[in-house]
Amino acid sequence: MSETTRTAGSLAPGKTKWFALGALGVAGVAFLAIAMGGIGSNLVYYWGPTELQAAGDKAVGATIRLGGLVVENSIVRGAGSSGVEFDVIDRKGTKVHVKSAGVPPQMFREKIGVVVEGTMTKAGHFESHRLMVSHSNEYRVPGEEHPTDVEKTMRTTEGLEGKATR
Amino acid sequence: MIPGLGRALILLSLLLGTVGAMLAFATARRPSPASWAWTKRLAFAFSGGLVAANLLMVYALLAHDFSVGYVAQVGSRSLPVWVTVVSLWSSLEGSILFWGAILGVYVSVATWANRNRHPEYMPWAIGVWLACGAFFSFLLAGPAQPFATVQFPPADGPGPNPLLQNHILMAAHPPFLYLGFVGMTIPFGLASAALLAGRLGGAFLRPLRTWLLLPWIFQTLAIVLGGWWAYEVLGWGGYWAWDPVENASFLPWLTATAALHSAILTERKGILKGWTVTLVLATFLLTILGTFMTRSGVFNSVHSFTQSPIGPTILAFLTAALLWSVGLLAFRIDKLAPEGRIEDGKSREAMFLVNNLLLVLFTFTVLLGTVFPLLVEAVRGVQMSVGRPYFDRMAVPLGAALLFLMGVGPALPWGRATGAQVQKALLPPLLGAVVAAGLGLVLGVRNSWTALTLAFGGYTAQVTLGELWLPISQRLKRGTALAAALAEVTMGAGRRRFGSYVVHTGAMLVIVAIAVSSTMGISKEVSLKPGDQAQLGPYTLTFLKSENLTEPHRTAVVARIEVSRDGQQVAVMGPRMNQYERQREPVGTPDVKSFLFHDLYLSVMNISPDGQSLGLLALVNPMVGWIWGATGLMALGGLLTLVPQRRTAAAEAVR
């Protein structure tokens, strides 16, 4: 950076140099402030149902990736529409009701690990616009159940990209 | 037998790399013709070892030799031959092995190209390359061993991740990315050598620029091929999501682009020496950071494969390379003083500075958003990520500003400009801006950022096309025929300048296409039964039926969808859900129908086993195809500027 400032400063000698340095400094600080503000308001939290409940009102309006298992017999498909409702549970037994917009992916079913992205509503259910199923591409003998790695799916990237339906 | 031979080749490469690096450094300190000759021989031998190890692995894959650890991991008898070959880079150990081969080829070619040139710093450069090569050989010898022996070889293997078998682009994106990422080792070595030898005059810039530009071209193609792969395979309808692995490929591209520009100022004015070198060093560090992020498993993705002990090792290498870079810069701080200065804030030089500032801010923005979650988790143990809106909010203004600057910079003269000259240069392209923005508004652009991007695009287009036309029109005036004038411009002395503007044309189109595609698309998710219809923009989609297909290595359910527009059938499309043999989860493959200005994109979200119920995602994506085409143009322009100009080479020889 010293090189840039030196050259910028060499536009004219003396005071101008310090002025240019100062301007660059102010611009840098301003940019950092904008960037950090941008990060602060766009954080996506990776939570399980227990952490979600513990967060209380903080969870309302925040962007959250909620991970857990789909509870047996809890899936209700919207009649005519493409939405779906279900409960998500974690190891501690905490349940959260999820309303998800859009068509669920092929692997979506009971007792499978899912990650939903969205936010908590005041009404007490989780409103999701993206539904992802945690995959494991390692080969298993058919019929052998394997623990779905929900935590890894939360950190998910392109391989599991669910569709954002906004 | 193959595992033993493979391990021997890797150990040999490790030995040759280590000894070669030491000999190269010794040669640099006390030059002698014999040790210089042996340095080069060891560099070639090192490359030969790694290339041979790769050929051996390809042979083992093709021969389905499951006694080789890596083959047992990713091989399968049911695969088509091309998938078997690309399996070489479809998992961790093989991908590092492939990295080694590419590095070997780069080191050999760069050594060969400079075998009789720059004796004052080439030994340093070869030393750095071989030291990096020794590190990757070490990875292959220990933490990421591809040639492990399997005691009881299985009869068949699982094959690679189905996502990686799903599209032919899998054969293109990874090699290009490696050619880009690994290639950045060469300018890193050259920059280190220039600092070590204290030769920071103009002479080191020519090879540095050439060897930076070559991987830059590959990197440009690789990033976009990766986006294209995501678009054609993942089925969510987009090509870029500011995902950590995407950012990892984009970061070194940004700094390399900045370096290519600042190198022009260093070449012309003798300024920004330290800055150019810093950018080159940073580019290499970012490729290693990217490798760490994608390969260590800190982010779960199709790139990270499995948890492996490779992470800490790469992190240690990254730390060492960082200390090396900072140390070298501090050591030579006295040699970095500028020889000239920028005389005027209204000059092209000043715009190069702004360009560099913007590109560095861009790098910083993306880096911050990518690394921030890792830092928070390390410090506070909280898991989170930075959402896409952050990246969009920061990248859109920066991208638009860069687009505008591509017009302003080339319009301004070098050196000094009077107010009148500046007006004469900067005012006329406003016509292009108004025309482009007006056209956009007529065609339905309502997003203000998209309209602004179009205006900037029009401005830059007028300047760029003017610069491209200028040398041709001069020749036409002199009576040269058009074909001859074109040949002269693209092959002759002005090629480097002409090529740069071809790159700019491509970049301009890419930015405009990104702006349009990300704001002007329409999408819909619908549940359909056979015979049902859905309306998407001007298109009527009819779900005709589903078909079951059986292919050698997979079965598939294909949804046949008739697409019609104004009552006329346009196409019957077939997005599908593939079930790979020996894999548990099905993988959807979208079907994309490209028109001149937009794509129709259909993707199966789910389909019931009897094919009676289809969940379909349908999108109209405007101008996405233009991104692929325009990137090709960028690469073509890059190649034009890359090939050395005979006249200059001859002039150099005379000198």
Phi, psi of B622 (to 5 degrees): -75, 140
A104 contacts chain B (CB < 8 A): yes
pLDDT at position A141 is 35
Q: Write down the pLDDT at residue B494.
A: 85
**pLDDT on residue A152:** 54
Give yes or no: residues A102 and A32 share one domain.
no
Q: Could you tell me if A35 lies within 8 Å of chain B, comparing CB atoms? A: yes
Q: d(Cα B631, Cα B509) in Å, to the nearest integer?
A: 9
Query: Does one domain contain both A34 and A91?
Result: no
Is the per-residue pLDDT at B83 higher than 50?
Answer: yes
Q: Are B342 and A140 inside 8 Å of each other by CB?
A: no
Q: Is the pLDDT of residue A71 over 70?
A: yes
Q: Please state, in angstroms and rounded to a whole number, the distance separating the CA atoms of residues B615 and A125.
A: 24
Encode pLDDT of B243-263 as tens digits. 888 999 999 999 999 999 999
CA A161 vs. chain centroid, Å, equals 11
- Other CB atoms within a 10 A radius of the CB of residue B120 amount to 16
- Both A84 and A23 in one domain: the answer is no
Task: Encode burial over B330-347: b for 16+ CB neighbours within 10 A, e otherwise.
Answer: eebeebbebeeebbbebb
* Smallest Cα distance from B307 to chain A, Å: 11
Say yes or no to pLDDT of A13 above 70: no
DSSP class per residue in B98-153 = HHHHHHHHHHHHHHHHTTTS-TTTHHHHHHHHHHHHHHHHHHHHTTT-TTPBPSS-
Q: Is residue A124 located within the same domain as residue A72?
A: yes
Domain count, chain A: 2
Tokens (6 digits) for A8: 């910028």
CA-based max dimension of chain B? 81
* pLDDT band of B382, cuts 50, 70, 90: confident
Enter the tokens of residue B14.
């490790």
With respect to residue A166, please indicate whether it lies within any of the assigned structural domains: no
| Confidence check: pLDDT of A7 > 60 | no
Same structural domain for residues A103 and A35?
Answer: no
What kind and span of H or E run contains B21? helix B2-29
Q: Cα–Cα distance between B187 and B560 in angstroms, integer? A: 51
Let me know: does B191 contact B208? Beta carbons within 8 Å: yes
Query: Is A157's CB within 8 Å of B390's CB?
Result: no
Residue from the list B345, B353, B605 with its beta carbon closest to the beta carbon of A105: B605
Cα(first)–Cα(last) distance of chain A, in Å?
Answer: 41
Residue B300's pLDDT band, with cuts at 50, 70 and 90, is low
**B545/B543 Cα distance (integer angstroms):** 6
Count of CB atoms situated within 10 Å of the CB of B191: 29
CB of A12 within 8 Å of a chain B CB? The answer is no
pLDDT (0 to 100) of residue B175: 94
User: In angstroms, how far is the first alpha carbon of chain B from the final one?
Assistant: 56
Span B151-198, pLDDT tens digits: 899 988 888 877 788 788 888 999 999 999 999 999 999 999 999 998
Q: Cα(B547)–Cα(B556) distance, rounded to whole angstroms?
A: 8
- The arithmetic mean of pLDDT across residues B553-580, rounded, is 93
pLDDT at A79: 60
Express each pLDDT in A84-128 by its tens digit.
Answer: 999 999 888 899 999 998 788 888 888 888 889 899 999 999 999
* Closest Cα in chain A, distance from residue B21 (Å): 31
Distance CA B112, CA B529 (A): 64
Evaluate if residue B425 carries a pLDDT over 70.
yes
Q: In Å, how far are B21, B41, B111, B118 from B37, measured between CA atoms?
A: 13, 6, 11, 14
* Residues of chain A found within 8 Å of residue B272, distances taken between Cβ atoms: 3-4, 7
Task: Tell me the chain B residues in contact with residue A35 when contact means C-beta distances shorter than 8 Å.
Answer: 364-365, 368, 394
Element (H, E) at B580: strand B576-580
pLDDT over threshold 90, residue A15: no
Q: Which residues contact B419 (CB under 8 A, 6 or more apart)?
A: none
Q: How confident is the model at residue B218 (pLDDT cuts 50, 70, 90)?
A: very high
Mean pLDDT of B521-549: 94
Position A147 confidence tier, pLDDT thresholds 50, 70, 90: very low
Assess whether A141 and A120 both reside in one domain: yes
Q: Which helix (H) or strand (E) holds B594?
A: strand B591-594
- The percent of residues above 70 in pLDDT, for chain B, comes to 96
Are A62 and A142 members of one domain? yes
Contact: A137, B585; criterion CB under 8 Å: yes
| A57-63 own/partner pairs: CB under 8 Å, 24+ apart | A59/A119, A59/A120, A60/A119, A60/A120, A60/A121, A60/A122, A61/A119, A61/A120, A62/A119, A62/A120, A63/A117, A63/A118, A63/A119, A63/B387
Residue pair B83/B553 in contact (Cβ under 8 Å)? The answer is yes
CATH number at residue A82: 2.40.50.140
User: ipTM of the predicted structure?
Assistant: 0.76
How many other C-beta atoms are found inside a 10 Å radius of the C-beta of residue B55?
12
Residues A49 and A65 in one domain: yes
> Is residue B580 over pLDDT 60?
yes
Find which of B384, B524, B583, B608 to mutate to test the A interface (most A CBs within 10 Å of its CB).
B384
Average pLDDT along chain B: 91
Chain A: give the shortest CA distance to residue B68, in Å. Answer: 18
For residues A88 and A18, membership in a common domain is answered with no
Average pLDDT rounded to a whole number, residues A50-57 = 89
- Clarify whether residues A27 and A51 are in a common domain: no
Q: Tell me: pLDDT of B221 over 70.
A: yes
- Edge-to-edge strands of the sheet including B522-528? B522-528, B614-622, B598-607, B591-594
On whether both A68 and A102 belong to a single domain, the answer is: yes
Amino acid identity at B617: L
User: What percent of the residues of chain A are helix, what percent strand, and what percent coil, each to the nearest 5?
Assistant: 30, 25, 40
Residue A165 located in a structural domain? no
**What pTM was computed for the model?**
0.91
DSSP annotation string for A50-107: HHHHHHGGGGBTSEEEEEEEEPTT--EEPSSSS-EEEEEE-TT--EEEEEE-SPPPTT
> Would you give the DSSP letter of residue B413?
P
Range of the domain at A26: 2-40
What's the CA gap between B471 and B623, in Å, rounded?
A: 30
Are A93 and A153 within one domain? yes
**pLDDT bucket at B69, cuts 50 / 70 / 90:** very high
User: Whole-angstrom Cα distance, residue B373 to residue B387?
Assistant: 10
For residue B596, the tally of other CB atoms under 10 A from its CB is 7
Give the pLDDT score at A153: 53
- In A, which residues are within 8 Å of B372 by CB distance? 39
Q: Considering only B148-152, B439-443, B626-630, which range has the smallest mean pLDDT?
A: B148-152
For residue B19, give the 3-state DSSP assignment.
helix
Contact B301 A156 (CB under 8 A): yes
A60: β partners: A120
Q: Which residues contact B474 (CB under 8 A, 6 or more apart)?
A: none
Taking an 8 Å cut-off on Cβ atoms, the answer to whether A157 and B244 are in contact is: yes
At B585, is the pLDDT very low, low, confident or very high (cuts 50, 70, 90)?
confident
Quick one: average pLDDT of A62-84?
84
Q: Which residues of A touch B302 (CB under 8 A)?
A: 157-159
Contact: B272, A3; criterion CB under 8 Å: yes
Lowest model confidence (mean pLDDT) among A32-41, B303-312, B366-375, B491-500: B303-312
